[in-house]
Structure 1
């Protein structure tokens, strides 16, 4: 017996003695139908389980009244009238408090520097104060000036602001670090 050669005539010839084999049948349609039936039955089971929770029927008026124990201080409850059940109130969520730091009323105002007062220097100095979660200033900077520029006024505000105390900033009801810009005016009277 020799190996078949595709170049020989009759290479693709069908052997009449070979058994006939049918092509494999596709069973995907049957699998899809079974899967669909399983899903529908699972859905029906789930739905019947959800709707099967029925509250117990109210007691009939012909039942005998329930008598409380003599030692109990609660009044007797009659079975022909269901006891009124108060729905439990849901606790109200506390509003989330969010605010910037604010200076305490007891803070000392900066003293008008004597040299600036004698010179008649007036103006306003705004400072940015970084405040930690305990209400203590951590950083103080001059951010704006109006009127005459005076280092004496700036220094007086910075020194006073470093000693101030604050109500800390709040975020969602918790104390956090924050910043505030406060103006301080100097006017000679």
Structure 2
């Protein structure tokens, strides 16, 4: 019995020793530093630029031969048209007799024109007058300011002289160039008395042109 127990104890010790030895190896391997990983450098790719292939020179094209000028063809003359024959007159069956000649008519005597009657003479009109006897028409006053400024000129008035000799209307036909002289002429003539115009001895209304001069005496 004791020898069997001893054998089992020896086997057990052997197994424990193997386990301890394996554990020791494992611990020893774990304490060593891990080896550094190897760095693999990728290969460098270097490109080389090759010159483009030179194309062989192409042969020059041969010039085309110039076309020869073709001779111009002259136009052929057109044939002249033949004249058409004139149509023949149909033969007359009967001869045409000439018409009888009539004697010329007797000449017509022209009647003498009666002498034209003279147109009645237009009735004469005697124009009015501002200088007849018995009239006392005063000349226009020369404005003092016009004298100082030496204003001179002629005023032409168009006056309606009525049948009774009074002045009905006054219009300025031509100015003297100065308003003061024009107004002075109108104011004076407005009070004038005229001998009226006469038509066949009868007084009538009449438009009459009257010039009035303004002149300074040069002394």
Range into which the TM-score falls when normalised by the shorter chain:
0.3 to 0.5
Which structure's CA Rg is the greater one?
Answer: 2
Q: Scaled by the length of structure 2, what TM-score is found?
A: 0.40
- The structure with more strand, counted as a fraction of residues: 1
